[in-house]
Amino acid sequence: MALFSFLLTFILARVFVFLIMSKAMPNLYFFVGGTHVHHLNYGIFLLSAVAGYSVFRRPSGRAAEITALMYGVAMGLTFDEFGMWLHLGGSYWQRASVDAVIVISALFGLVAFVRKLKRFEKHHFWAFLILTIVVVGFAAVIYLAGLRLGDMVGQPLHELESNSSP
C-alpha cells in the first residue's frame, strides 16, 4: 500500500508541477507572504501526523491500510523534492530526487513483498496491475522524452521554473 501510494504520488506531483509551470493548468501553489510553500512541507507534516497516529493509536486492519497509504503519499510528496532539500535552493528538476525515489521504491518493494509472496490476494493483483501500468507509462514517457530532448531539456526546464514564479 505504501509503495503504491508513494509511486503514484511522485508521478502525479511531477505531472502537476510540469503542467503548472508550463501554464497548462492553473497555479495551485500555496504562497505565504510571497514565499512558495513547496509540497515537501506538506509531506513532512503528513509524515509527522502519520507517525504520531501510528505510535499512539497503533492501527490495525483497515486503519493500518489507510495509514500505509497516507505514509506513501507523505513520502512521495517529501522525496519528490529530495534534491531541493539536499541542495537547498536548487532546482526542482534535480536528478537526485528521481534517484531517491528509485532507491526508496526498491526498499519499499523489499519490505512489502518479501514476506507476502505466499499470500497474493485479489486486491493486491489489481493494485499491482494499476501500479505496473502507471510505472510503465511513466517510464515510456521519460524514455521517449529523453530520446527527443537530450541536452535540450535542462536549460528550458530551469527557465520554465524561473519564469513560473509569481
Q: What is the pLDDT of residue 127?
A: 74
Task: Tell me how far apart the alpha carbons of residues 148 and 13 are, in angstroms, rounded to a whole number.
Answer: 23
Torsion of CA 138, 139, 142, 144, to 10 degrees: -110
Task: Tell me how far apart the alpha carbons of residues 76 and 66 are, in angstroms, rounded to a whole number.
Answer: 15
Task: Tell me how far apart the alpha carbons of residues 83 and 19 are, in angstroms, rounded to a whole number.
Answer: 20
Q: Which three cell numbers stand for residue 71?
A: 505514509
Domain residues of the chain, as ranges?
2-163
pTM of the model: 0.66
Q: What is the pLDDT of residue 8?
A: 92
Per-10-residue mean pLDDT for the chain, 166 residues long? 90 86 82 84 93 93 94 92 77 73 77 61 70 74 59 62 61
Range list of H helices, 92-153: 95-113, 122-149
Q: What is the pLDDT of residue 126?
A: 76
